Structure 1
Amino acid sequence: MGHQGGRGERRISAVFLGIVAVMAVTGWAVWTDYAASPGLAVFLFVTSAWIVSLCLHEYAHARTALHGGDLTVGAKGYLTLNPLKYTHALLSIVLPVLFVIMGGIGLPGGAVYIERDRIAGRWKHSLISAAGPLANVAFAIVCTAPFWLHALDGVPVAFRFALAFLALLQVSAAILNFLPVPGLDGYGIIEPWLSHRVRRELAPIAPFGLIALFAMLWIPEVNQFFFGVVDGVLSALGVNERAAYCGQDLYRFWQGGDSFFCAAPVE
């Protein structure tokens, strides 16, 4: 008999609700131009929204694993959306936030621990890995909805820029997560279909996959190509490169920014 768990194991945590509250309040401050420093408000709004998306990413993994047969995820607290319950809170939350601040990259973090031996069927394993980045895809679609629905009338410029930058983070996170690099979700999708020999040989590389990926993105040519792909996806979703740039410019309020460049309306 598996452990079914009680309602407490699936009750949304106060920590997550607190982060959502920060996102709502700072989003309102950006929308109404209430804040004395719009850059600070954008920073807090985008950062809290980014953490919310990280929580939803990990929740998607856990929830899919629960339906796949791993009934232990509830007892581990993964269904409460509490980021402090993750296996590595540092990898899951702190490092992705630092990556956003340093390079404007939605780099995925680590991880909820899924007991894979409880789950039968290769398709289930692949779906569990895919669920996380698909949550980022869904978040990106929501962020870009005002753009591709041509519903920007009445949306304040600062809020528009913040949404564009947040969408950039979601798109970049989804693309990076889907890469078949050991340690990332993309590899988790294909891993069940690989031979035991290949999986055994690649297993030692997994802990370093994320680090290697981050290092690669510091190579100018790789960085330019990657963000070219991200910009292409954003453009398809109705978000132009300038809006995302201005959102990042506002986000990094401590650097001052090219306010003249971002002052004019963005279609």
Structure 2
Amino acid sequence: MIAFTVHEFAHAYSAYKFGDKTAYDAGRVTLNPRVHLDVLGTILILVAGFGWAKPVPVNRGRFKYPRLMGIIVSAVGPLSNLLIAALGILALYVLNDTGILAASSVGVYKALIHFFNYLISINIMLLIFNLIPLPPLDGYRIIQDLVPVRVRIQMDQHVQWGMFIFLLIVFIPPLREVTLDPLFANSSKIIWALQGFYENFFSPYDWSKFVRDFNT
């Protein structure tokens, strides 16, 4: 719910700030999950581990610089998932360094660990998944705005085949095992990189002092 909502809000908000009110008029510039979640996509996430949210309508013709701003609007969705994962890792380190985790009951400790682990892993997988250059994913939209116009026209003519390939990869297990699964295996490397960033730049900070100062 958090991952999908923030992802779609990032698309809608950035498009609105760049001059396209399509998503704003549709009520999508909000962090209300009910506006962004798709019923079938949400059910599939719960029962099959795969799902989707409602796509945000974007009219690139309303942008001052359609291609550049189109790339940004497409990219901010996956980047928002990276930001959530980074904040989740930071929160875990802060809770650990301040002793909050150690002082918690067993039930609270397990709940926090499970919550943040899922928060981090799901957002990293969404980051990777949405950058795949197949329609209707963000990676495809980014490629469309990067290539010359004549190439984009050719891509639009064959978009149905891209959709077909996408559905085959997602819903046929043997194809998923040789495509998406190896790709998702790289999620741990991204998590390690974020952890390394924290250890190099944030670890020296005394988070216990921050909590004490905040409480006073």
TM-score computed with the length of structure 2 as normaliser: 0.71
- Look up the equivalent residue of 1:215 and give its one-letter code: F
Calculate percent identity across the aligned residue pairs: 25
Distance in 2, Cα, partners of 1:221 & 1:80: 37
Separation (CA, whole Å) in 2 of partners of 1:62 and 1:138: 17
**In the alignment, does 2:150 pair up with 1:197?**
yes
One-letter amino acid of the structure 2 residue matched with residue 67 of structure 1: K
1:53 deviates by 2.4
Q: How does 1:51-200 map to 2 (within 5 A)?
A: 51-86=1-36, 89-90=37-38, 94-96=40-42, 98-99=44-45, 101-103=47-49, 108-121=52-65, 122-148=67-93, 151=96, 153-155=99-101, 156-200=109-153
Once the two structures are TM-superposed, the CA of residue 143 in structure 1 deviates from its matched residue by: 1.4
1:209-243 CA distances to partner (integer Å, 9 max, x unpaired)? 6524423675334354223201222233349xxxx
> Is 1:235 matched with 2:216?
no
What is the aligned length?
A: 183
Tell me: CA distance 1:159–1:209, structure 2 relative to 1, closer, same or farther (3 Å). farther
Structure showing the higher helix proportion among its residues: 2
CA contact (8 A) 1:139 1:170 kept: yes
Structure 2 unmatched ranges of 5 or more: 102-108, 197-216
CA 137–217 in structure 1, closer or farther in 2 if over 3 Å, else same: farther
1:188-227 matches, within 5 Å, as 188-203=141-156, 204-205=159-160, 207-208=163-164, 210-215=166-171, 219-227=176-184
User: 3-state SS of the aligned residue for 2:64?
Assistant: coil
**CA separation of 1:82 and 1:165: change in aligned 2, threshold 3 A:** closer
Amino acid across the alignment from 1:146: A
Q: Work out the CA distance in 2 between the residues paired with 1:129 and 1:170.
A: 16
Unaligned runs of 5+ in 1: 1-50, 240-267
1:223 and 1:190 map into 2 onto residues whose CA distance is 19
CA gap of 1:198–1:100, structure 2 versus 1, over 3 A, is: farther
- The alignment's C-alpha RMSD in Å is 2.8
Deviation at 1:169, TM superposition (A): 0.4
Aligned to 1:183, the other structure's residue is in SS state coil
Q: 1:85 to 1:101 in 2, by over 3 A?
A: same
The verdict on how the C-alpha distance between 1:217 and 1:133 changes in structure 2, with shifts beyond 3 A counting, is: farther
Following the alignment from structure 1 to structure 2, what is the Cα–Cα distance between the partners of residues 148 and 221?
34
Q: CA deviation at 1:132?
A: 0.9
CA distance, structure 2, for counterparts of residue 224 and residue 202 of structure 1? 26
Give secondary structure in 2 for the equivalent of 1:80: coil
The CA deviation string for residues 112-139 of structure 1, in whole angstroms up to 9 with x for no partner, is 1111211131211100101111111111
